[in-house]
Amino acid sequence: MQSNAALEYDYSVAKLFTFTTILFGILGMVIGTLIAAQLAFPELNYLIGEYGTFSRLRPLHTNIVIFGFTLSGIWATFYYVGQRVLKVSMAESKFLMAIGKIHFYLYFVGALLAVITLLLGFSASKEYAEFEWPIDVVIVLVWVLWGISIFGIIGIRREKALYVSMWYFVATFLGVAMLYLFNNMEVPTYFVSGGIGNIMHSVSMYSGTNDAMVQWWYGHNAVAFVFTVPIIAMIYYFLPKESGQAVYSYKLSLLSFWGLMFVYLWAGGHHLVWSTVPDWVQTMGTVFSVVLILPSWGSAINMLLTMKGEWNQLTDNPLIKLMVLSSTFYMLSTIEGPIQAIKSVNAIAHFTDWIPGHVHDGVLGWVALMIMAALFHMAPRMYKREIYSRKLIETQFWLQTTGIVLYFTSLWIAGITQGMMWRAVDEYGNLMYSFIDTVDVLHPYYVIRTVAGVLYLAGVFIFAYNMIKTMTSSRTLTEEPMFRSPMA
Amino acid sequence: MDIRELQAYAYFFMTILLVVALYGYILHLYRSEKKGEKDYEKYGKIALDDEVDSTPIESNPKSKSEK
């Protein structure tokens, strides 16, 4: 390291990941909107042969949004926030800079391979863990590189205390490493079937109920450590920085951190309520899901209280509006999840459209809004230009808010209708409805859901356009803004 | 004592233990602040004053840079 008066933060790696966040955001959500339309209008399944069917595209949608859009957003913000809260520039270490760049390029190659193999139909058939083993190997390498980046930059920091966002980034790293390794223990069928299997097709090392339990321990915690923990890392930095208000209670942020870490890992059993896993696993899943409200709301309320006395910023600054709405959706989905985990509610909710409804008010409302707000905040600092258009952010905000509300309300109604119809019996105990009766009833809600997807997607295109214009042709800034991001 | 009874005891004591740990941690946070050992709230400023040449809230003695 050297002492240099003109030392600046180096955002090269953050910029690269910003690019993939936008790219995978568009790709993942275009596919999402298409498959929503396919559920309403099944003939759309046959546009491009086997490559356009719902079954082929659904894993692409989920994996691109989780491992493409969200992970890129996490890394873009990590390579930005990490330097700033530790007060050390990546330009000070050639080694960390090289690791950061290898991290990006290896990730990009891996992500492209993942998209191609899923499109070709290579799938391990475990939800959110569909990648076949060669992709898993690449992901493990990418993860190790990120670990070197995290602990490398912590090692050369000037700020001794780790800001709470760093705690959450470190937890993301450790959590996903553990979950991903254990759930993806798999063997190519070629080796277990005397040579008649396929080298590219693998089966899980666990079987039956054990496999289900490991899968949902992973599946639920993928939500925890990709869709929750790192997004909290973001909001704990970006909301205070954009508003100029220190976090309301740092102590509450620490308490919520340990609460979340302890409780989240036990809640996965709620995905298997009323299935063939031990009763205590189901009860434990339910109990821990309900307890989970406390640390989740601890963080969310801490964010809302950070705005205490500064609520005028909500009308003045569209980025604050995006972040406050995002943390409000966090509150909504973290009260909805525990309700669905209660056994009696789960009996109606399980396997119905209420579940994707829940996932989407979390991901569209909380995750994606927060990532987009974070990138907007970073843009003027990274590209030294003001944000291209405030009006476009406002338009995006309203389109997407309307989209999310239509999305989850239609699926709430659809899900509960579906659940009730499946259970309805006549006076003799015979089922009153066949499956196709439910499909008929649900059609209008699927159409509304598609419209909601189109609205949200339109917002994503506006976001991408606004970002690209900010990078290329917006007015240049002479000095870095302290708090509020400048916009035209 | 059958397995059910054992589970019930384990459940009860586990709950007590977790409640004690939770409130113990809150107590620890407030007490160490009151005694003047720690000022947790100052760390909130790390996000606000985060220029590369800002004075750290707590300097890292291992950092080799002279500022």
Task: Supply φ then ψ for residue A206, to 5 degrees.
Answer: -100, 160
What confidence tens digit (pLDDT) does each residue in A215-268 have? 999 999 998 999 999 999 999 999 999 999 999 999 999 999 999 999 999 999
Within 8 A by CB and 6+ apart from A262, the residues are: none
Domain count for chain B, please give it: 1
Any domain includes B58: no
| Cα gap A70→A75, rounded to integer Å | 9
What confidence tens digit (pLDDT) does each residue in A383-421 have? 999 999 999 999 999 999 999 999 999 999 999 999 999
Range of the domain at B13: 3-38
Domain residue spans of chain A: 7-227
Contacts of A9 in chain B (CB under 8 A): 52
Contacts of B59 in chain A (CB under 8 A): 158-160
Contacts of A255 in chain B (CB under 8 A): 25-26, 29
Cα of A6 to nearest chain B Cα, Å: 9
Any domain includes B62: no
Cα of B50 to nearest chain A Cα, Å: 5
- Return the residue in A158, A239, A243 with the most chain B beta carbons within 10 A, the one to mutate for interface testing: A158
Most distant CA pair in chain B, distance: 67
- For residue A3, name the pLDDT band (cuts at 50, 70, 90): low
Q: Which residue has the higher pLDDT, A469 or B65?
A: A469
A212 contacts A129 by C-beta, under 8 angstroms: no
Say yes or no for a CB contact (<8 Å) between B25 and A9. no
Q: Which amino acid is at A76?
A: A
CATH code of A7-227, in short, is 1.20.210.10
Mean pLDDT for A56-84 is 97
Q: Name the average pLDDT for chain A.
A: 95
A281 contacts A272 by C-beta, under 8 angstroms: yes
Of B7, B41, B58, the CB nearest to A160: B58
Tell me the whole-structure pTM to 2 decimals: 0.95
Mean pLDDT for A417-446 is 96
Cα of A280 to nearest chain B Cα, Å: 10
Mean pLDDT for A52-75 is 97
Say which range, A35-44, A94-103, A351-360, B12-21, has the weakest mean pLDDT.
B12-21
Task: Supply φ then ψ for residue B37, to 5 degrees.
Answer: -75, -35
What confidence tens digit (pLDDT) does each residue in B1-54 have? 898 899 889 989 998 998 999 999 999 999 999 999 999 999 999 999 999 999
H/E segment holding residue A339 = helix A318-341
Contacts of B40 in chain A (CB under 8 A): 250-251, 254
- For residue A373, name the pLDDT band (cuts at 50, 70, 90): very high
Mean pLDDT for A346-356 is 96
Within 8 A by CB and 6+ apart from A246, the residues are: A240, A306, B41, B44, B45, B47, B48
Position B66 pLDDT exceeds 50? no
| pLDDT score, position B67 | 45
Say yes or no for a CB contact (<8 Å) between A85 and B50. yes
Within 8 A by CB and 6+ apart from A249, the residues are: A302, A305, B41
Any domain includes B51: no
Cα of B8 to nearest chain A Cα, Å: 12
Of B25, B26, B46, the CB nearest to A159: B46
Position A314 pLDDT exceeds 80? yes
* ipTM confidence: 0.89
